[in-house]
Amino acid sequence: MTERLYFRSDETVATACVTRCVEENGQWIAILDRTLFHPQGGGQPGDTGWIATSRVLQALQDGDEIRHLIDAPVATGDAVIRVDAERRSLHTRLHSAGHLIGYVVQTLGHRPVKAHHWPGESKVSFQTEPGVALPDADALAASLAKLIAAGMPRVAELNDGVRTVGFGQLPAYPCGGTHVARLSDIGTVRITAIKEKKGQLTVSYDVGD
């Protein structure tokens, strides 16, 4: 089992122990006792970075283990691990903005069903409530800006292996992703498209400074 340091830490540098390094189908894979690397999943891309001097190209979850795909083998034992902080920050802001969009549109009456928080293609999908108006892009952006300006702090809890994340008094959701420490760290959210097709509403968005 890999301990997930990113569940309780925003650090991007740490020391961890490389417990295994194996080659599978020409790809080197490192397993650590604990990691800062968020694996791809939950609508969020995996982190990249470095283990010692090897590049981490991708982090993937496999059961309760996190597998780090690396460009060159690393020795077992203690190593400095470093997450690409800039890339992580963008993913974290996009993912946190997705939480907020889910919350605001849900208060309008539509049910969030799916989220994809990848740069350039971020979107949250909802099952529409019949008879309820679709959100207006400008009004939605204004609601988001108001919440972001309030800068509510992240509230993360881990109980029996289940992690829930919310902001301030807003409802918390079960989530394994990475989140800003306070909503003001998101910056601005731009709604790029609102589409409805056969009862599914899709809100596409991007974040800026």
**What DSSP character marks residue 169?**
T
Quick one: 21 or 95, whose CB is closer to Zn ion? 95
To Zn ion, the closest distance from the beta carbon of 177 in angstroms equals 4
- Rounded Cα distance between 160 and 78, Å, is 28
Interacting residues toward Zn ion by CB under 5 A: 175, 177
Quick one: 46 or 177, whose CB is closer to Zn ion? 177
Q: Which residue is nearest to Zn ion (CB)?
A: 175
- Rounded Cα distance between 150 and 147, Å, is 5
Quick one: 172 or 194, whose CB is closer to Zn ion? 172
Instruction: Please give the structure tokens belonging to residue 88.
Output: 């992580």
- Rounded Cα distance between 150 and 186, Å, is 12
Residue 109 has phi, psi (to 5 degrees) of 120, -5
> Are 49 and 12 a contacting pair, CB within 8 Å?
yes
To Zn ion, the closest distance from the beta carbon of 45 in angstroms equals 13
Strand-strand pairing, 54-62 and 65-70: antiparallel
To Zn ion, the closest distance from the beta carbon of 154 in angstroms equals 10
To Zn ion, the closest distance from the beta carbon of 36 in angstroms equals 17
To Zn ion, the closest distance from the beta carbon of 139 in angstroms equals 24
Whole-angstrom CA distances from 13 to 6, 16, 51, 178 are 11, 10, 10, 15
> Are 105 and 50 a contacting pair, CB within 8 Å?
no
To Zn ion, the closest distance from the beta carbon of 52 in angstroms equals 30
The type of residue at 22 is V
Quick one: 45 or 177, whose CB is closer to Zn ion? 177
Quick one: 28 or 173, whose CB is closer to Zn ion? 173
Quick one: 135 or 177, whose CB is closer to Zn ion? 177
